[in-house]
Every structure is written in structure tokens, then in C-alpha cells.
Amino acid sequence: MLSKNEIKRITSLTQKKYRIQENLFLAEGVKLVSELLQSSFEVYHVYATNDFETTLPDSKLTRITEAELNKISQLVTPNEVVGLFRIPAQQLPEYKGLIVVLDTIQDPGNLGTIIRLCDWFGITQLVCSPETVDCYNPKVVQATMGSLTRVDIFYTDLNSFMENSNLPVYLTLLEGDNVYETDLSKEAILVMGNEANGISKSLIQKRYKALHIPRFGRMQQTESLNVAMATSIFLSEFKRRIF
């Protein structure tokens, strides 16, 4: 049986300060937890109903009831298992390939979707400003659908990251070169901005290239594409040309 303290400790991981303190994050559901168990992530402990099949040693597994699962789950429909995993030590990003940079993405769903897009497009490095939502936030973790295991995510000061780069830097703005008509480098840094405010002024430098997606519709239009939608279109443009 789960003690009150255990329940409290598990659910406290929905908060960033406790994730940092414990160096652990939460993941839920059969598919996601199974994928994490098969990945390089280190499992700390798994809480699962008897329905969940696993070869985990007893020391790493606590069998719980449906009622207990409901108490620790963050999902509307809890699904057999909640796992606690170690937050991996952050490495330094390497200046190679196509790197996506996020300047203060705040919505967990957007970050989760962008991680999934990186995975789809074979992008293995995602660099985030310190103000970007934590990728170990449970809502982000769930939205990645396992892509978290295949994309390395770094939080760092973007100014110095971009300044130290030899790769061309593309800023995605509302004005700039038409992405469909511009030559794009295979190796590059692609910067996506905040949902409401776009890319920070301090990052907008003349030596960087500005790109935009043209509107096709009537004049009075959607003000801008959602950042995850825009990311999917930019990544599609970068990647389709390498065929």
C-alpha cells in the first residue's frame, strides 16, 4: 500500500522545484513508460497495477490498486502505470546538423509537440532558453509521446549559444525571406519565438537571416500561425530539400 508520504512525494514532482530537488520526473501510461524503460533513461521506481506487464526487479516496482493509481495519476484517464525516472545530466550541445532553438516557449503542449516534430524530422538537438517551460513538466512529457527519448534537450543562454556558433542562424519572424523561395543550409540553427511576443529583441541581429512563411489567404487573416504549426512547416522545408 502507498503511504500518504509516498503519494505526496510522487505528486510533488508535478512541480519544478521538487523535480530539481529530487532529480526525478514523472511519466504515465503503458506505452510511454514502456518506451522509457527501453531507453537510456534511468528508471527510479515504477508504480503499476497488476495489469502492467514488466520484468522490472521488485526493488524498482510497487504494485498498486486502481484507487491508488487514481491518487497519483495526473491523467484524466489513468492507464496502469506511473513511472519515476532520473533527469539525465545535461551535456553540451554540439554545433552540427540542424538545431532547433526555442526562445521562451511557454505552453507545455507546444513544447511537447515540437519535441515530437524534432523526432519525426530526425533532429536530435533542441536548445531552449532558460525561460522555456521545463521539458520534464508532466504535461510536456505526456505530449511528447516518447519522443523525449530520442531528442536531446538543452537549457542555456541563447545569446551566447548563438554567438559561439559557426552555423548559419535563421530567425523565424513575421517578415523576412520567403521560406519557400530561399536556399536553406543543411546544417543550421533555426530559432522559434515565444507564443505571444516572438523572438526576443536581443537575439535579432543583422548577421542572422530572417525567414517567414507567407500567407496565402485573404487579407484579414489569422494573425500568426501557432508556433508548433510554424515549426512543422519550417522543418518540412529544411528537410525536404536534402532528399
Contact residues for a copy of itself, defined by CB under 8 A: 109, 113, 116-117, 119-123, 145-147, 150, 180-181, 213, 215-218, 220-223, 225-226, 228-229, 232-233, 236-237, 239-240, 242-243
In the complex, what is the shortest distance from the CB of residue 73 to a copy of itself, in angstroms, rounded to a whole number? 20
For a copy of itself, the closer CB: 7 or 145: 145
Cβ distance to a copy of itself smaller for residue 110 or 129? 110
Task: For the CB of residue 161, give the shortest distance to a copy of itself in the complex, in Å.
Answer: 23
Strand ranges in the chain using DSSP code E only, listed in sequence order: 24-28, 43-48, 61-63, 81-86, 98-102, 125-128, 152-155, 169-178, 188-192, 209-212
Q: State residue 133 phi and psi, 5-degree precision.
A: -55, 145
With respect to a copy of itself, which residue has the nearer C-beta, 87 or 145?
145
CA distance 117 to 124: 11
CB 170 within 8 A of CB 184: yes
Shortest Cβ 121–a copy of itself spacing (Å)? 5
| DSSP bridge pairs for 189 | 99, 169
Q: How far is the CB of 99 from a copy of itself (least distance, A)?
A: 15
Q: Which is nearer to a copy of itself, 106 or 156 (CB)?
A: 106
Contacts of 106 (CB under 8 A, 6+ apart): 131, 132, 133, 194, 195
Select 4 or 243, whichever has its Cβ closest to a copy of itself. Answer: 243
Minimum distance between the CB of residue 239 and a copy of itself, rounded to whole angstroms?
A: 5
CB 141 within 8 A of CB 13: no
